């Protein structure tokens, strides 16, 4: 599963909470969580978006583009967060 968000810690906390409560939208991921438990998972930051000193930078657009590139390389399903 891939995701992208300006606040990575919040995204990870949200994902863990959904999995812990059994309410994650990915049924396969939820089944894996229930089978393997939290210790069977590893969350990793794969890319960081370089911030520019430019008030017109559209972080959400840039994150989406970065996410799509990574998705293409890994050929896996994306769960995007904004």
The CA-atom distances, in angstroms, between 16 and each of 19, 41, 71, 72, 73 are 5, 10, 21, 25, 25
Q: What is the pLDDT of residues 13-22, one digit of tens each?
A: 999 999 999 9
pLDDT beyond 70 at 79: no
Structural tokens at position 59: 């972080």
Q: What is the pLDDT of residue 59?
A: 86
31 or 62, greater pLDDT: 31
Choose among 14, 24, 2, 13: nearest CA to 32: 24
Domain boundaries, the chain: 8-74
pLDDT beyond 70 at 39: yes
């Amino acid at each position: 599963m891939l995701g992208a968000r300006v606040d990575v810690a919040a995204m990870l906390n949200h994902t863990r909470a959904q999995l812990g409560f059994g309410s994650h939208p990915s049924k396969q991921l939820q089944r894996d969580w229930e089978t393997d438990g939290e210790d069977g998972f590893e969350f990793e930051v794969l890319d960081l978006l370089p911030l520019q000193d430019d008030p017109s930078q559209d972080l959400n657009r840039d994150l989406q583009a970065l996410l799509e590139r990574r998705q293409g390389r890994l050929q896996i399903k994306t769960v995007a967060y904004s």
